Chains A and B, each alone.
Chain A
């Protein structure tokens, strides 16, 4: 996609005859080839998911479905056995992922924006050090924070237990989905802070001063002046965080278990089952369902993504 965009930039479009015909044939031929290479796995997945099982096991992988059916999709969504769980289908896990990803993305993005705002417009002694440390957080691998994170989440679990004993309600402490939200927010904060800080660094400070003189408070400036002008970077951050959190497997498999697992873990449990025959069509349908939300986010917000990445460069 991005290569095609590069070729069709106005610079080239405005100069017809710049490339000879053979050059163009080679360029488009190569682009087509790469597009095919990228598309084939998806095509095979979609085709396989639409075939009944006997056609999958007996036929050619590239053959078109003879008797197309959505049976595999229905089964993946609501009937397939996931690991050893009694809950059937991936629908529940899909919902788990939605419940995890939306608060995690929104909270981490908003906190990142707030951090960026403070780090660029309310300089305090040592703000550079704080930013450096937040930046450092981007380079910490997932694996190395698992055990400390598990310990902390364990404390939260204990707090939840005591609250539950005392009031009959745990206030979300110890809930696996809440735990995953916390883990992803903490882990994502470094990235979201980096994005927003760099964007706000180029944001005119005079606007903040003008709002101060107009009598706006710290949060009023943030909400009324800064946030409404942050759409591009907000979209970038949301896409980045959504993709990362939705696709995460390590935190999901570590901090949630059984019925509270996110989609990625459920998909693994479905595909890696070692009993019975492997229902490739069901697996493919489940995999496509698992990938659909990130695709959706890219398609809806993709044009902002490119614009957002460019915004910093243009403003300079």
Chain B
């Protein structure tokens, strides 16, 4: 039985449809990340699960029980808000205990539960303080403590790290991941940050304009994006998307990338693609991530299908761990990831290598992966 089932969920504000039929389910102990650009409906979706927003049609089931009409406090969930939403007039301990107090849990029991949670999160020394006296990371912990103490069947996180600085964000990300691993809790997590999504999730749902674009494991989403939107949204730097044409000679299907000052690049069909429905001359979008565009020395030696080509280096971006090299192909910029100590210079005519094991093809008309 799934911990969370969302079935044909629709949400309308007047004539405006925010969620257009969402179907997602999450197994117990899973970590679902809802990711998408702002305005895609991910926060609305979380709020409908929480019960803070009503739904127009469809069903939400938590642990097999339909919760459509249940008050947020009765859904057996806990939520960590973006602003942490700690009550400023209460101490940390009172903040954590407030939910139990509202449910009439006797005081000794409350204190015991608060102490246990404070120990897990290492905030015992903060219990007497007010939220205003805490740092961002400490507030984040308290907010998690307030959720943890309820021992809910699902945790909801609404962009919990977006108010933290870059370093703390990485620390807290690890903290959340550790929390998930040690407690085995079921989590639904909203973010617009695709790195958070990749690192935390056991399951990612990419949303756009109120529709699910793809649901899958981080590896599936990253390596086999269902359409151009997912391909472009996930990954940084973004996937290279180049326009090409299908070439056919007998059973052999290939892709031809035209270039202005150089001979065209001829590629065999990537392993991921199904070439049976492609016709000669049809337009396709060839997608390849920067880490699958290398030079002869840094290309994956296990790769089954590698194509080399020469191109002029336009921009060199040293990023510390790697160096990104920008060149041009099929009329568009093409980013390649090289070793940090690469010697390429702007203006060089350099030999690049496509690792076609990692390449994908898209239909430009439907934007779906072929």
Contact = CB atoms under 8 A, between A and B. Distances in A.
A213 B77 contact: yes
Contacts of B319: none
A18 to B, nearest CB: 34
Contacts of B71: 212
A207 B87 contact: yes
B78 interface: yes
Contact of B50 (A213, A220, A224): A213
The size class of the interface chain B forms with chain A is: 20 to 34
A236 B183 CA distance: 48
B91 to A, nearest CB: 12
Contacts, number: 57
A229 interface: yes
Nearest to B87: A225
A214 B81 contact: no
Contact of B79 (A210, A216, A229): A210
A211 B103 CA distance: 12
Nearest to B104: A215
Interface string A75-115: 00000000000000000000000000000000000000000
Given A220-B102, A229-B89, A213 B83 contact: no
B364 interface: no
B85 A215 contact: no
Contacts of B51: 213
A209 B52 CA distance: 7
Interface string B76-99: 011101110111110000000011
B102 A206 contact: no
Interface string A213-253: 11110001000110011000000000000000000000000
A223 to B, nearest CB: 11
30 contacts: A204-B83, A204-B85, A206-B83, A206-B85, A207-B87, A209-B52, A209-B72, A209-B81, A210-B85, A210-B86, A210-B146, A211-B98, A212-B71, A213-B50, A213-B52, A213-B77, A213-B78, A213-B79, A214-B98, A214-B102, A214-B146, A215-B73, A215-B74, A215-B103, A216-B73, A224-B87, A224-B98, A225-B89, A228-B89, A229-B89
Interface of A: 204, 206-207, 209-216, 220, 224-225, 228-229
**7 closest A-B pairs (Cβ-Cβ)?**
A215-B73, A214-B99, A228-B89, A210-B85, A206-B85, A215-B102, A206-B81
